[in-house]
Amino acid sequence: MKTTQGYLKQRGKKWYACWTANGKSHCVATHERDEAEARKKLAQLVAPFTARNEVATLEAIAGRVAGRKAEAERLEAASSPSLKISEAWTAYCDAPNRPDSGPRTLRGYESQWKRFVAAIVATRGECALRDVTEADAAAYVAALGKKVGPSTFNRHVILLRLVFRILAKSARLSSNPFAEIAGKRFQPHSRRELTINELRRVCAKAGGDLQLLLALGIYTGLRLGDCVTLQWDEVDLVRHVIRRIPAKTARRNPKPVIVPIHQALITILAGTPEKKRRGDVLPELAAAYRRDGTIVTDTLQRHFRNCGIRLYAPGTGITYDAQGERVKPGKRAVLEVGFHSLRHSFVSLCRAAGAPLAVVEAIVGHASPAMTRHYTHIGEAAAGDAVAALPDITGRRTPRLLKPAAAATVSATKVRELAEQLSPKTAKTIRALLLALPVTNDCGRPTPGRREARALRQLQ
């Protein structure tokens, strides 16, 4: 459509608006005697024709752009073939911009990705990664949500979204099909701590390396991976402490936790001849764990079950007959008891023994590196007392004489450093650390707590 901008023509004292559109001339009276007002009327009359002309022009341009874009994509595809979905995982692992994940994390990611690829190939056959549509993604997650719990579902979707984002440029993706997939809300189910009787039963029926592994979990609060791969050079039987960098925080915060060793655990560790204290504390279990972590997990769960401890929440999980054989699957398993329950038990026992919260947090792995640095200087005695107060659960009772605490002084510099760290977020933690400082009476001697005072009276 061709349209002129129009012009004005005066007849007598009145102005007329004239323009041409599609080869047809138009002339309309403006009923205005003032030229300026007549020109405004002309603009209003011509505007619809001009707009339609612009739309037609833009549509023609857009068509040409789309055609050239399709031609460019065809030529690019001919010069470098699209990334196939079966080759995407190798491309992801080789991508320089992917997150730096550990070997075990990558193995888990690969398993999730292969599950997705198998589902796509089953419905569409071998295809390019860029051919996966939002409809394919929606169908996949709909089926996935019926088979796994919310937590597994969310981790899986996050991984798929990540892979498509990392490969967006190399695979020439126009969009991320998982970008709009929402996660599922869920109520996290925590492990429960074991009672003292359950802990004693678990230790009594265990032997060898399994008993040592359970004792490490009970008396150190370390996670399974840290306990089973513990090294002898991390165990100081002279100072009675374990120095270990937790695997969970090793990459972002490679600070060791210092865990005092309970007397019952010392007795078990000291049973290993000194010439064999090299490498792994639990060599056979460590080798099995590094080969396949489920081997150790299954062994522990079988042991808990043999001790009469229910592993799953009522009405969920797997049922077993009198011989311990699986007879039928139940609802989706909600695990209540596992090795992590020993970590919960350690924290509960320490708190029940009166250990300050900051002391317990530092032993199991402090959230704040700054607090951990301060705690290293002022809290080892408090941490030792907290662990020493735990009951002997292994059955290997070793008498331990409580001695009066030696007089101690606190550096004013340390107190000043703590004060400088004070903020609304750290106030509770710093208060607990200050309360854990040794307190002296008017004579300059340490003032014992109730537990220490009772022990001193018994010794006297």
Residue 61 to residue 197: CA distance in whole angstroms: 81
Structure tokens at 379: 């809290």
Residue 447 has pLDDT above 50, yes or no: no
Give the percent of the chain with pLDDT over 90: 21
pLDDT band for position 326 (50/70/90)?
low
Residue 346 near residue 218 (C-beta atoms within 8 A)? yes
The listed range with the strongest mean pLDDT (30-39, 185-194, 361-370) is 30-39
The pLDDT value recorded for residue 135 is 92
Give the percent of the chain with pLDDT over 70: 74
Give the residue from 23, 18, 66, 69 showing the smallest Cα distance to 45: 18
Q: Which residue has the higher pLDDT, 433 or 147?
A: 147
Predicted model pTM: 0.54
Q: Which residue has the higher pLDDT, 30 or 59?
A: 30
Residue 355 to residue 322: CA distance in whole angstroms: 42
Q: Which residue has the higher pLDDT, 210 or 403?
A: 210
Give the tens place of pLDDT for each residue, 272-293. Answer: 998 999 999 999 999 999 888 8
Residue 374 has pLDDT above 60, yes or no: no
* R_g of the chain computed on alpha carbons: 37
Structure tokens at 153: 């579902």
Residue 30 to residue 69: CA distance in whole angstroms: 47
Residue 7 has pLDDT above 60, yes or no: yes
Q: Up-side HSE of residue 105: CA atoms within 13 Å toward CB?
A: 10
Length of the chain, in residues? 460
Q: Which residue has the higher pLDDT, 153 or 1?
A: 153
Residue 256 has pLDDT above 90, yes or no: no
Q: Which residue has the higher pLDDT, 405 or 62?
A: 62
pLDDT band for position 190 (50/70/90)?
low
The pLDDT value recorded for residue 227 is 93
pLDDT band for position 257 (50/70/90)?
confident
Residue 231 has pLDDT above 90, yes or no: yes
The one-letter amino acid code at 345 reads S
Please give the CATH number for the structural domain made up of 196-401: 1.10.443.10
CB neighbour list of residue 442: distance below 8 Å, 6 or more residues apart: none
| Choice among 30-34, 48-52, 308-312, 438-442 with the minimum mean pLDDT | 438-442
The pLDDT value recorded for residue 410 is 57
Residue 116 to residue 248: CA distance in whole angstroms: 27
Residue 454 has pLDDT above 50, yes or no: no
What are the DSSP calls for 305-317, one per residue?
A: HHTT---B-TTBS
pLDDT band for position 121 (50/70/90)?
very high
Residue 71 to residue 27: CA distance in whole angstroms: 46
Structure tokens at 247: 């695997």
Residue 378 near residue 410 (C-beta atoms within 8 A)? yes
Residue 295 has pLDDT above 70, yes or no: yes
Q: Which residue has the higher pLDDT, 120 or 372?
A: 120
Q: With 0-12 CB in 10 A as exposed, 13-18 as middle and 19+ as buried, what is 440?
A: middle
| Strand, helix or coil for residue 271 | coil
Residue 327 to residue 71: CA distance in whole angstroms: 62
Residue 148 has pLDDT above 60, yes or no: yes
Average pLDDT, the chain: 78
Q: Which residue has the higher pLDDT, 228 or 457?
A: 228
Residue 372 has pLDDT above 70, yes or no: no
Structure tokens at 1: 């459509």
Q: With 0-12 CB in 10 A as exposed, 13-18 as middle and 19+ as buried, what is 410?
A: middle
CB atoms within 10 A of CB 103: 7
CB atoms within 10 A of CB 225: 18
The pLDDT value recorded for residue 139 is 92
Structure tokens at 419: 């004060």
Q: With 0-12 CB in 10 A as exposed, 13-18 as middle and 19+ as buried, what is 190?
A: exposed
Residue 136 to residue 38: CA distance in whole angstroms: 60
Q: Which residue has the higher pLDDT, 449 or 155?
A: 155
The pLDDT value recorded for residue 116 is 93
Structure tokens at 48: 């619809």
Q: Which residue has the higher pLDDT, 17 or 58?
A: 17
What is the mean pLDDT of the segment spanning 431-455?
A: 51
The pLDDT value recorded for residue 102 is 79
Residue 194 to residue 345: CA distance in whole angstroms: 6
CB neighbour list of residue 179: distance below 8 Å, 6 or more residues apart: 161, 164
Give the residue from 407, 397, 399 showing the smallest Cα distance to 441: 407
pLDDT band for position 356 (50/70/90)?
confident
| Choice among 28-32, 47-51, 220-224 with the minimum mean pLDDT | 47-51
CB atoms within 10 A of CB 197: 9
Residue 199 to residue 299: CA distance in whole angstroms: 16
Residue 218 near residue 199 (C-beta atoms within 8 A)? yes
Residue 178 CA, distance from chain mean position: 19
Residue 298 has pLDDT above 80, yes or no: yes
| Choice among 27-31, 178-182, 309-313, 381-385 with the minimum mean pLDDT | 381-385
Q: With 0-12 CB in 10 A as exposed, 13-18 as middle and 19+ as buried, what is 380?
A: middle
The pLDDT value recorded for residue 443 is 41
Residue 355 has pLDDT above 90, yes or no: no
pLDDT band for position 378 (50/70/90)?
very low
Residue 171 near residue 83 (C-beta atoms within 8 A)? yes
